[in-house]
Every structure is written in C-alpha cells, then in structure tokens.
Structure 1
Amino acid sequence: MLKILLIEDDFTLCQEIKERLSTWNYDVHTVEDFHQVMDRFTNVNPDLVIIDIQLPQFDGFHWCRMIRTHSKVPIIFLSSRDHPTDMVMSMQLGADDYIQKPFHFDVLIAKIQAILRRVYNYNAETNHIKTWHGATIDFERNTIETNENSIELTKNEAFILQALLSKKNKIVSRDQLMEMLWKDSRFISDNTLTVNVNRLRSKLEVIALDQFIETKIGQGYIALAEENDYV
C-alpha cells in the first residue's frame, strides 16, 4: 500500500480526499499541527505528497522547499488561486503537478496514478523500486540512490540485498542465501558468498547504509529496516 501525505488545512476537504483515496487502497496520512509539517513528513516517509498552497503559519511553497532539501518524493500542489505565477513557482520548486480547486476527484486520481507509475514504475505485477532508510533502490538497474550519492551493485550483490530485505529484521542464514542463489541458477560457493557480502557492505558504506546489514555470528545476516521502509 503506497503512502500519501496530505497537507491540507480545510478539514472537510481533507477528510473527503482521505476517504476517497483510501477506497483506491492508498494509505493516506494528514497533518494536524502545521508547525510540525517536516516532523510529520519524516515520520510518515510518504511515496507522494499533496500540498495546499494556502496554509497556516507557512505556505505550501515553504514546505515544498523544505521537503526538496531532503527528498525527491513526488509532490502535487492544490490551490484555489488562479494566478499563473503560482503554477510557475510550484514547477520551479520541483513540484510534479498542480491542480486548481475545485477539481474533479477522477482528475486527482488520474494524476496520482500517472505520477506514481512514472516515478516508481509501479503496476499490479511488479514494483522493483524500494526505499530503505531514505535511499531508493532500483532492483532492475541494480542501483541505490540517496540525495547525495548513487552506487551500482553487481547482480549477485543486488540479489543478496534483495534477499535480506525480503526478510527485513529477520536473520537469513548463509545456507538460506546459498539455496536462494542456487535456485536462481547463480552458482556460488561459500567463499564467494562471503566475498559478495563484504563487497556489498563496502559499497553501502559509501552511503552510510552498511550499519544496517549485521552479521549474526553462527547464524547469518540481518537487514535492519524501519517500519515505514517500503522494502
């Protein structure tokens, strides 16, 4: 279930949007304290953000700037204003779309689906884009990206990482990894497994993620993930 953070101070409209999006199987989170928008964003770690321009305390442009300093998450602006400069400003700040109020709900859904397909290559059959401790993993291109860096993995390194993340916060034994690799026709010896895990850790160290792959002596390996990681 993909998560959406809805930043809207009109309570009635906010609840209506939340209810309608929930029927499309989106996990919608809202903001109650408009002083703490970034805290809410960090806690939710959404796949998409919808922001109204006119908000208490600071406007939507401010929060868009703040979000863009930390994340490339897709953003849709909502606005009851019809100034062309608002649309221009939102695009310049890195928004992915702009919808003027009042709007038809089918238009909002269509835009959300189009953006999610484009950004995450998401459909009913496959979703090879994962997020892990703020990094974006593309298991089709075997890359991991953060705001600052991008690293490339070999096929074996990517396979091992994917296997560990599929059992997040649970120990995966060396025998289990060997069996997974064998079934995938990746003929790999015990020593080669050690080499690949060490190389994977070295690459993850570049983006400060090596700490989240732990060795359990005599048991195997564990990938530590947070509750809101989409792995």
Structure 2
Amino acid sequence: MYKLMIIEDDIMLCSMIKEHLERYGYSIYIVENFNDMENEIFRAKPDLLILDINLPYYDGFYICKAVRKNSSIPIIITSARSETMDQVLAIELGADDYVTKPINLDIFMVKMKAVLRRTYGEYSSANSNNSVGYLNLDAGNFQLSYKDKLVALTKNEYKLIKLLIDNKDRITTREEIFEALWDTESFVDENTLTVNMTRLKNKLSEAGINNIIKTKRGVGYIFDYSVLKGEENEQ
C-alpha cells in the first residue's frame, strides 16, 4: 500500500482527495502544520507528495525545491494557476507532474498512478546501470558520470537519457518520450518536454558532453552515438 502525503490548505478539497484515494486503498497522511512542512515530510517518509502551490508561510515551489535537495520522492503539484510558466517552473524545480484546479479526479488518478508506476512499478529501473564509452548512468542514485565529472539527475532526466541511449542512432519520437516519461500522449504540454530536454542537455554539457542530443524538428530527438564512439576501446 502506497503512503501518500497531501499538503493542501483548502480543507474541503483536501478531504475530497483523501476520501477518494482511500477508496482505492491508499494510505493518506495530511499535513496540518504548514510552518514545519519540510521536516514533517521527511519524518513521514511518504511514497508520493501531493503539493499545493498557494500555502501559508512557504509556497509549494519553495517546498518542492527544498525536498529535491535531499529526496527523489515523486511530487505532483496541484494549483489553480493554469499559466504555462507556472507549470514549467514546477517541472524545473523537480515536480513529476502538474494538475490544475478545479481538479478532475479521473485525470488526477491517471496522472498519480502513472507517477507511481514510473517510480516504483514496471517503468522503474532502480536496479540497472547503463554505459556508453565513459558515459555511465547510475539508476540507483539518479546520477550521470563522464570521466571525472559526476552530475545529479532528476528521475525524469534519468528516464529521458536512458530512453535516448536505448534508442541510440535512431530517432526517438516525442510520442515515445511522452509515453515513457508521463505514461500518456495526452495531458502533457509540449513545453514540459522542451524544459526537460533543455535541462538534460545542460547537464550533459556540465559533464563535458556537447551536442550529443540532436533535435529532429517535428519528429523527436536522436542520441548521436558517434560523439562517444571509440571510447570503449580506450577503457
């Protein structure tokens, strides 16, 4: 049974979500002390965090960023803010998904189950490692290493680079990426993919790998294995 934590100051909405999730067998923990949210999260150790943006004391963006410094717990942001930039910011800070209010519980359940499945279920890859030349992926710690450089990745960044490596030297379509990262070809704004891809490219550059992901306009992306070819023979 998954333990889900709800951080929401709208009492009626919080109760509605809690009752709905409990019908499906989830264990629900509700945060009531909004002045000590960060410590309460780490004490409770939930499997997934449902986090509102507009909260007393600290907003959801702050809490999301603070949690991401120490934990890879999946986070779903809920907010009445439907502007694209708010959704982009949430993803940039490490949220796994974003649900706008008023909440459609059917869509919310689809997104929540997909996040849990990607993290703990059939799409989870916590026991595998991937290597291409000097480029290594550590699935257990969501890290990328290249020669003497080590870079931390978010879960989505890890899943994205893994998918591209698995499909190296062929185009990975946007639809394939949507399905692998968000378990859907709907409900996801194109900007979300662009943000994740840009962040991944920046982290590869930080590790010393440039121009290895090529954009195929209107189709998808390709991991250009030729950038690293020959490194296997050096090892």
Matches within 5 A, 1:16-27: 16-27=16-27
- Under a length normalisation based on structure 2, what TM-score does the superposition of the two structures give? 0.53
Aligned to 2:96: 96
Distance 1:41 1:149, change over 3 A: farther
| Partner residue of 2:140 out of 136, 142, 145 | 145
Q: Distance in 2 between matches of 1:48 and 1:80?
A: 20
For 1:114-151, what per-residue CA distance to the aligned partner results, in whole angstroms no more than 9, with x for missing partners? 1111111159xxxx98xxxxxxxx4x54988357899x
Give the structure with higher Rg (CA): 1
Identical-residue share of aligned pairs (%) = 39
- Listed as ranges, the gaps of 5+ residues in structure 1 are 130-137, 151-231
CA distance in structure 2 between the aligned counterparts of 1:122 and 1:141, rounded to whole angstroms: 13
Matched ranges for 1:89-128 at <5 A? 89-121=89-121
Q: What is the rounded CA distance, in whole Å, between the counterparts of 1:144 and 1:122 in structure 2? A: 14
Corresponding residue of 2:39: 39
Aligned residue-pair number: 137
- Aligned twin of 2:83: 83
Contact 2:18 2:28 in 1 (8 A): yes
Q: Structure 2 matches for 1:162-201, cutoff 5 A? A: none
Structure 1 residues 13 and 37: CA distance shift in structure 2, 3 A? same
1:42 to partner: Cα distance: 1.0
For residues 30 and 118 of structure 2, the distance between their equivalents in structure 1, rounded to whole angstroms, comes to: 24
Q: Are the aligned partners of 2:128 and 2:139 in contact in 1 as well (CA < 8 Å)?
A: no
Aligned in 2, Cα 1:122/1:21: closer, same or farther, shift over 3 Å?
Answer: farther
Does structure 2 retain, via aligned residues, the 8 Å contact 1:7–1:50?
yes
Q: Helix, strand or coil: the match of 2:73?
A: coil
Q: Give the whole-Å Cα distance in 2 for the aligned partners of 1:25 and 1:69.
A: 30
RMSD: 2.5
* TM-score, with structure 1 as normaliser: 0.54
SS of 1:145 mapped into structure 2: coil
Give the whole-Å Cα distance in 1 for the aligned partners of 2:37 and 2:54.
Answer: 14
